[in-house]
Chain A
Amino acid sequence: MQYVIQAQSVTKVFNGFTAVNEISFKLIAGECLGLLGPNGAGKTSTIRMTYGFSPMSSGRLSVFGLDIRTHWREIKGRLGVCQQENSLDPDLTVQQNLEVFGRYFNIPAGATREKARKLLEFIALDHRRDAQVSELSGGMMRRLVLARALINDPELVILDEPTTGLDPQSRHQVWEKLENLRSEGLSILLTTHYMEEAARLCDRLIIMDHGEILVEGKPAELIIEHAGRNVVEIAQPTDELREFIRSRDLTHDDLGRRILIYGDENDQLFDIIRERFCKENCSLRGSTLEDVFLRLTGRQLRE
């Protein structure tokens, strides 16, 4: 198996606070690996170490089989990064943003111009090549950031929340572009808050919290393992229902005004519950990644 990223016991400590605590993971060539976690889980710290922006406190990290501590320049030359915050150059036009960025990789000017033209076509911004960055919409800017990350023909792209703050149309457009890239065999490491995004794009997921990896696996397998196939949701549950759940030892989350019951043979269970405990206030639905996420990381706010 060929690994694009190999992280071993990677740790990041900021002023005594452990943001990332001895995590180990691998990214296989050609796969899309997703990092999920609430705010402050250590996702951004992890990927910042991966692209050599932030030095590790301890551990070993290699990208393309090269040590990030010693071969950072070569590694950075072979990967593309979409940072969370918009870092497009507002002093330059759309086209210049790509060309100037390409020059940072020491790509010859002629080659970057040609590449920039192709990328603007790819992200459907060729008609805005001479526009100022500030004239673009949020979705256009994000597509331009993505194009910029591809200027050096990277073997790996690292995306930190690529669709946060976008409207549904723009989000789907970014997803489409990312799916195109993935089908071409590009390796992708991405962080996201959107479970739909993770389920749709990622081959494998890592769910993190408090700087540690909680679980790792394929989206569908994680759902079955941690939230079953189906969920019965009951609003305004009665004490009799709670008693019933206890007696049957059902996997559930009691949120006070709502109870979620996870299971595999819920079809039957649903009928029983509906008949005995509620007539209107219960529903049956398929389990989702969001159920897994909330079960593992808890429901309290992270601020």
Chain B
Amino acid sequence: MKLSSSFDISWRFLRVWQRNLIVYRRIWKVNFLPPLFEPLFYLLAFGMGLSTMIGTIHYAGVDISYLTFITPAILAINIMYNAFFETTYASFVRMYYQKTFDAMMATPLSLGEVITAEIIWGATKSLFATVIMLAVLSGFGLIHYPDGLLIIPLAFLGGVAFGSVGMLFTGIVPSIDVFNLPIFLFITPMFLFSGTFFPVENLPDWAQHLALALPLTHLVRLTRHLCLGLVGVDLLLEAAYLLVFCLIFYPLALISMHRRLIQ
């Protein structure tokens, strides 16, 4: 059987990516504010509020301050949020309310190109936010360079992973309110239990295994080791996990959107 034209994907997808960039640039001041201030809020809350009660944490053979421990998690969580919210709420609005995808489908673009562009755009937003946050956090001496620079391409990889999952949900949810469900069942548990605010090892055994299956756990490990300058070959395995995650969820996202839109 011939594969549907939806899955014919060329570099033309960059045109749709450009469209999103144009819209982003129109309100760039608003877009730059959250990644600029959010890390400051976290540092204020955890650095001044919480870390005095915690002291140091023993992580990967070294003793580090609680602030140093959670800084990489703030980066990882933001990578997840930027991509996931872009390909869920924002993409859904473009698809369902604004009919933007319908208009694009009347041009030489294929559906696969539109969806790919949305996911890559979500990853781009993760990357932009990460660059701004790195700049802010570097001011506090919380990032180890040059290893910390690797977090920038990592933000893109993580963005593709979470963006693909988000797009899969966009292909499935009957209405925009239903996004509450994957956020409650998938995003919030990751936010709390992926080694973000306390080491995964503090969890009971069964929960540790569960946490290891979640992509944010691996992204946090990567950002943490890069922030601390603890770079080893084992990090490649973590990155490989994210890559495999993309290879599974990107095609699933394409299939779910094809089923939703092509009738």
Tell me the A residues contacting B by CB distance below 8 Å: 14, 51-55, 69, 72-74, 76-77, 80-81, 83, 85-92, 96, 100-101, 103-106, 148-149, 152
What mask results when residues 70 to 107 of chain B are scored 1 for a CB within 8 Å of chain A, else 0? 00000000000000000000000000001110111111
Which residues does chain A contribute within 8 Å of B262, judged by CB atoms? Answer: 53-55
Q: Is the beta-carbon distance between A91 and B2 smaller than 8 angstroms?
A: no
Q: Is the beta-carbon distance between B106 and A73 smaller than 8 angstroms?
A: no
| Least CB separation from A145: chain B residue | B103
- Interface presence of B150 (CB below 8 A): no
Q: Which of B2, B4, B107 contacts A101 (CB 8 A)?
A: B107
Bound together, the chains give a CA A105 to CA B263 distance in angstroms of 23
- Interface presence of B144 (CB below 8 A): no
For the complex formed, measure the closest distance between the CB of A295 and the CB atoms of chain B, giving whole angstroms.
33
For the complex formed, measure the closest distance between the CB of B204 and the CB atoms of chain A, giving whole angstroms.
47
Task: Give the segment of B8-16, B38-46, B244-252 that binds chain A.
Answer: B8-16
12 CB-based A-B contacts, threshold 8 Å: A72-B5, A73-B110, A77-B108, A86-B99, A88-B103, A89-B100, A92-B19, A96-B22, A100-B22, A104-B104, A106-B12, A106-B108
Q: Is the beta-carbon distance between A85 and B16 smaller than 8 angstroms?
A: no
Which residues does chain B contribute within 8 Å of A104, judged by CB atoms? Answer: 12, 15-16, 104, 107-109
| Least CB separation from A133: chain B residue | B98
Bound together, the chains give a CA A224 to CA B125 distance in angstroms of 63
| Least CB separation from A54: chain B residue | B263
Bound together, the chains give a CA A104 to CA B99 distance in angstroms of 16
Which residues does chain B contribute within 8 Å of A77, judged by CB atoms? Answer: 107-108
Bound together, the chains give a CA A14 to CA B98 distance in angstroms of 24
Which residues does chain A contribute within 8 Å of B106, judged by CB atoms? Answer: 51, 53, 76, 80-81, 83, 149
Bound together, the chains give a CA A92 to CA B22 distance in angstroms of 8
Bound together, the chains give a CA A81 to CA B18 distance in angstroms of 22
A-B contacts besides A51-B106, A149-B106, 7 pairs, CB < 8 Å: A73-B110, A76-B107, A83-B106, A87-B100, A90-B98, A104-B16, A104-B109
- Interface presence of B54 (CB below 8 A): no
Which residues does chain B contribute within 8 Å of A81, judged by CB atoms? Answer: 106
Bound together, the chains give a CA A54 to CA B104 distance in angstroms of 14
- Interface presence of B23 (CB below 8 A): yes
Which residues does chain B contribute within 8 Å of A106, judged by CB atoms? Answer: 12, 15, 108
Bound together, the chains give a CA A69 to CA B3 distance in angstroms of 10
For the complex formed, measure the closest distance between the CB of B89 and the CB atoms of chain A, giving whole angstroms.
14
Q: Is the beta-carbon distance between B102 and A14 smaller than 8 angstroms?
A: no
Which residues does chain B contribute within 8 Å of A90, judged by CB atoms? Answer: 98
Q: Which of A85, A96, A105, A149 contacts B102 (CB 8 A)?
A: A85
Q: Is the beta-carbon distance between A92 and B108 smaller than 8 angstroms?
A: no
Which residues does chain B contribute within 8 Å of A73, judged by CB atoms? Answer: 5, 8, 108, 110
Which residues does chain A contribute within 8 Å of B12, judged by CB atoms? Answer: 104, 106
Q: Is the beta-carbon distance between A85 and B99 smaller than 8 angstroms?
A: yes
| Least CB separation from B103: chain A residue | A87
Query: Among residues 12 to 31 in chain B, which have CB atoms less than 8 Å away from a CB atom of chain A?
Result: 12, 15-16, 18-19, 22-23, 26
Which residues does chain B contribute within 8 Å of A149, judged by CB atoms? Answer: 106
Which residues does chain B contribute within 8 Å of A80, judged by CB atoms? Answer: 106
Bound together, the chains give a CA A9 to CA B23 distance in angstroms of 43
For the complex formed, measure the closest distance between the CB of A106 and the CB atoms of chain B, giving whole angstroms.
7
Bound together, the chains give a CA A73 to CA B107 distance in angstroms of 8
Which residues does chain A contribute within 8 Å of B109, judged by CB atoms? Answer: 104
Q: Is the beta-carbon distance between A87 and B19 smaller than 8 angstroms?
A: no
Q: Is the beta-carbon distance between A14 and B99 smaller than 8 angstroms?
A: no
Which residues does chain A contribute within 8 Å of B16, judged by CB atoms? Answer: 104
Q: Is the beta-carbon distance between B100 and A103 smaller than 8 angstroms?
A: no
Bound together, the chains give a CA A80 to CA B262 distance in angstroms of 19
Which residues does chain B contribute within 8 Å of A148, judged by CB atoms? Answer: 103
| Least CB separation from A90: chain B residue | B98
For the complex formed, measure the closest distance between the CB of A269 and the CB atoms of chain B, giving whole angstroms.
50
Which residues does chain B contribute within 8 Å of A51, judged by CB atoms? Answer: 106
For the complex formed, measure the closest distance between the CB of B90 and the CB atoms of chain A, giving whole angstroms.
10
Bound together, the chains give a CA A239 to CA B108 distance in angstroms of 62
Q: Which 9 A-B pairs have the closest CB atoms?
A: A87-B99, A81-B106, A87-B103, A104-B107, A91-B23, A77-B108, A76-B108, A73-B108, A103-B15
